[in-house]
Every structure is written in C-alpha cells, then in structure tokens.
C-alpha cells in the first residue's frame, strides 16, 4: 500500500463525528481541549476517537490552540563557552555535582543519543520521548553524558513524564551548559517551540532562571534558587532532613559524630550542614568535624579519608547525599572499620546508591519523583493561568532505616 492510500485510509474528524453522533466542529473543540463542551458529549467523542483510531494532527492542533504540547526539561549549569578560560565560576559543571538538586558526575557507557531511564530518545516528537535540543550535542557532550549517567536525573524524568502523559504532552530535553546554549533555550521558548520550562540547575551561579524570568516565560525550578527570582519552585526541607539524620545517630548512642557536607556554595549543601550542626549543638555537641564533598562518590571517599586521619575515633557519619555515603563506606571498610558496629553511616536522598551500598544505607528520603510531578503540575497550572502568583512547594523528608545505622 502506498503512502497516499494509507493517508486516505486514516480516520478523520468526520469519521469521529459520525461515530459520536455530533458535528465535526464539536469533535474539533473536544480534540483541541476547548472547555465549554458538555461532559457527556466529551466522553462520547473520546469513545469515538478510541473506536475509530483517530490521531490528531499535531501541527494542525497547534495552529488552533497556539500550544506546542511540549515542555522543555532543561538541565542548566554555569559553564563557559568551549575555549574560554576555566575558573571564572569555580566548581562549575556537572563534575561538581548537580548542586542543590542532587545530580552528580558519573561515567556513561556507549555513545550517541542516550535515553534517560523510563523514556525513549527521539529525533522527532513523541508522546513520551525526548527530543535532544539546544546544547545536547557537540561541545556539551561531556556534560550530557554525565547527566544521563546520574540516577537522580532518571528519577526527575520519571516524575515529569508520568505527569505530562495524561495531558498528551511530551518533554523536550535541553542542556544549557554555556552562555550560548542558554540563549538558545530562551529563544526556543520565545518562539513557542515549547510551552514552558522545567529547570534543574547544576550550579548556584546559574543565570538561566533570571533570564527566563526577565523574558516573562513560563517556568518552574527544581530547588530554591540561590538568589531570589520570581519563578515558582519545588524544594525539600533540607534542614529538617539533616535533623532526622542527627537524631538517629544520637539515638544509636554515637558520641563522636562527623559529617561530610555537600558543596557549601549552594543552598542545599548549606542547609543540610546547618540542620545537622544545630541539632548536634542542642544535644551538647558543640564542635562537629566537617569535610566538604561535591555530591560524588569520589569526593565522599576523599572526605572520609580526611576525617579518619584527623578524627580516628569518630563513631558516626552523616553524608549529605547517598553517593558520598557510599564512598565513605568503601573507605571505612578499607581501614578495617565495620559499618555500623564501629561507625554508623547515614546518607541523604534514598537513591539507588543507598541500595547498592553494603550494608544497605540508612538515609533521608528526598521524594524526587513526587517533587518532579509537582513541578510539572505547577507549570501546567501556570500555563492555564498565566497571571497566577509565583509560588513554592516544600516537601518533607523521611528517614529510611536500613543496616548502615
């Protein structure tokens, strides 16, 4: 069968209208999401669509709704252009960790376009797939590979895709690791190629949230921005999570606790350290040894080695994320310390690293999937009510007790 004959055989709006017993105009209103249609008629049209196998023409629908039915999922850093002198923003890029959100550097296998967990990579638009866009190719390939290798990003994707799918929308994955890439993201949104943006920043100095706000574009952030920006965001009560970790170590009888903090130039790293220190101070521990890490396993190993050198009698460790806790457990084993008999270890995130750890890691759960879903809901609400207020949603952490503490 030729393409022309296949096209001729494809169900049309008229076929749906006949099956539903309504006019073509009514079918068009229902398909395009117009709200002033009786619910019973909407149901009849949806059943007819299912019966006939009709698939709306996305391009034609966009002309009617002025919507792309796509949302940009942007992973943004504060990097420099390829060839520029590094060091203008110390610790920039994914190699320093997805700061403030939990994404870390990692290795990736294979090459070319890589699908995030639970999604498919696509060169065109798909109902649940990703379109690699600005910054996803070329000079940003290392940044891209590191993001795809991180389990945190997969959890974000799961929450976003699951929330967009019922609305017939799909995410377009974009990377903004340089000034040029950020300009491309803003231009992409301005021209209507995506209806709005979900932004996960990799660095405290990321200028993209401010650029989006200045352009008046619809967006929601994952994690509170380091500087006030009139953009809605979701975040976790990080200090409360650190308090749970401290109280658990104290409850086990730890008398010489220490902590491996996250990077201290971002709100999440600061908040987790503050929460842990404050709780310990209230229980008489005035001075807590601290070794700063970068949310990576390697930095956790290095920090744990420093702490053991300087405080060999420590008996409890709170690591500000699970990958650093995993690294800490490796070093403790290498030094002949048993976990948790000699040193109790608590992590943060409840990521896949917590289950990969031996022994399995006691950790503070950050509900990433739920946070990503709420981020998506806030964006869809903003698209429906452009004049609605900027808001924030703060999630509560939960202690998950396993064998490490």
Say whether both 225 and 94 belong to one domain.
Answer: yes
Mean pLDDT of 324-342: 97
Among 262, 321, 316, 256, CA closest to 292: 262
146 and 105 in contact (C-beta within 8 Å)?
yes
Instruction: Report which secondary-structure segment, H or E, holds 190.
Output: helix 179-190
pLDDT, one tens digit per residue, over 241-264 is 999 999 999 999 999 999 999 998
**Total domain count for the chain?**
3
Q: Residue 144 domain-assigned?
A: yes
Q: What are phi and psi for residue 215, nearest 5 degrees?
A: -80, -5
For 309, the domain range is 238-365
- Beta-carbon neighbour count of residue 34 at 10 Å? 13
Say whether both 225 and 269 belong to one domain.
Answer: no
| 276 Cβ contact list (under 8 Å, min separation 6) | 242, 243, 245, 246, 259, 288, 318
CATH number at residue 45: 1.10.260.40
Q: Residue 219 domain-assigned?
A: yes
Instruction: Report which secondary-structure segment, H or E, holds 362.
Output: strand 362-365
Top-confidence residue, 96 or 259: 259
SS3 223: coil
Say whether both 115 and 79 belong to one domain.
Answer: yes
SS3 174: strand
The per-residue pLDDT of the chain, averaged, comes to 81
Mean pLDDT of 295-301: 93
Round to whole Å and give the CA distance between 209 and 207. Answer: 6
Q: 398-400 and 362-365: which strand pairing?
A: antiparallel
Least confident range of 146-150, 203-207, 295-299: 146-150
Among 58, 91, 92, 94, CA closest to 78: 92
Say whether both 152 and 265 belong to one domain.
Answer: no
- Beta-carbon neighbour count of residue 301 at 10 Å? 21
CATH number at residue 291: 3.40.50.2300
Q: Residue 342 domain-assigned?
A: yes
pLDDT over threshold 50, residue 132 = no
Say whether both 111 and 139 belong to one domain.
Answer: yes
pLDDT over threshold 90, residue 356 = yes
Instruction: Point out which residues pair with 400 in neighbouring strands.
Output: 363
Q: Residue 292 domain-assigned?
A: yes
Q: Residue 375 domain-assigned?
A: no
Say whether both 213 and 243 belong to one domain.
Answer: no
Q: What are phi and psi for residue 305, nearest 5 degrees?
A: -65, -40
């Amino acid at each position: 069968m030729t393409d022309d004959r296949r096209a001729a055989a494809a169900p049309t709006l008229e076929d749906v209208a006949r099956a539903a017993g309504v006019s073509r105009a009514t079918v068009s209103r229902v398909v395009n999401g117009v709200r002033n249609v009786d619910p019973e008629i909407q149901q009849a049209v949806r059943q007819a669509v299912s019966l006939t196998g009709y698939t709306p023409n996305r391009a034609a629908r966009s002309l009617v709704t002025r919507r792309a039915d796509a949302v940009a999922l942007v992973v943004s850093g504060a990097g420099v252009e390829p060839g520029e002198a590094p060091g203008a923003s110390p610790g920039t890029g994914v190699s320093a960790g997805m700061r403030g959100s939990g994404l870390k550097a990692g290795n990736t296998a294979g090459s070319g376009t890589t699908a995030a967990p639970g999604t498919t990579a696509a060169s065109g638009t798909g109902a649940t797939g990703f379109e690699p866009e600005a910054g996803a190719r070329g000079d940003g390939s290392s940044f891209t590979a590191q993001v795809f290798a991180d389990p945190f990003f997969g959890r974000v994707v799961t929450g976003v895709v699951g929330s967009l799918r019922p609305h017939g929308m799909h995410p377009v994955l974009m990377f903004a690791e340089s000034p040029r890439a950020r300009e491309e993201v803003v231009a992409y949104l301005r021209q209507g190629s995506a209806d709005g943006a979900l932004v996960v920043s990799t660095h405290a100095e990321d200028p993209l949230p401010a650029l989006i706000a200045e352009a008046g574009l619809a967006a929601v952030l994952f994690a509170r921005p380091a500087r006030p920006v009139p953009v809605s965001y979701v975040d976790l009560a990080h200090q409360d999570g650190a308090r749970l970790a401290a109280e658990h170590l104290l409850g086990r009888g730890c008398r010489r606790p220490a902590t491996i903090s996250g990077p201290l130039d971002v709100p999440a790293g600061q908040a987790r350290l503050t929460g842990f220190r404050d709780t310990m101070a209230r229980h008489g521990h005035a001075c807590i040894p601290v070794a700063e890490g970068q949310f990576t396993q390697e930095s956790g190993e290095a920090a744990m080695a420093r702490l053991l050198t300087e405080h060999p009698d420590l008996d409890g460790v709170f690591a500000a994320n699970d990958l650093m806790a995993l690294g800490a457990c490796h070093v403790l084993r290498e030094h002949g310390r048993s976990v948790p008999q000699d040193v109790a270890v608590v992590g943060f995130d409840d990521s896949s690293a917590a289950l990969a750890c031996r022994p399995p890691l006691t950790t503070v759960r950050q509900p990433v999937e739920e946070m990503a879903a709420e981020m998506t809901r806030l964006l869809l609400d903003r698209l429906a009510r452009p004049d609605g207020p900027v808001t924030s949603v703060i999630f509560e952490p939960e202690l998950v007790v396993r064998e490490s503490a």
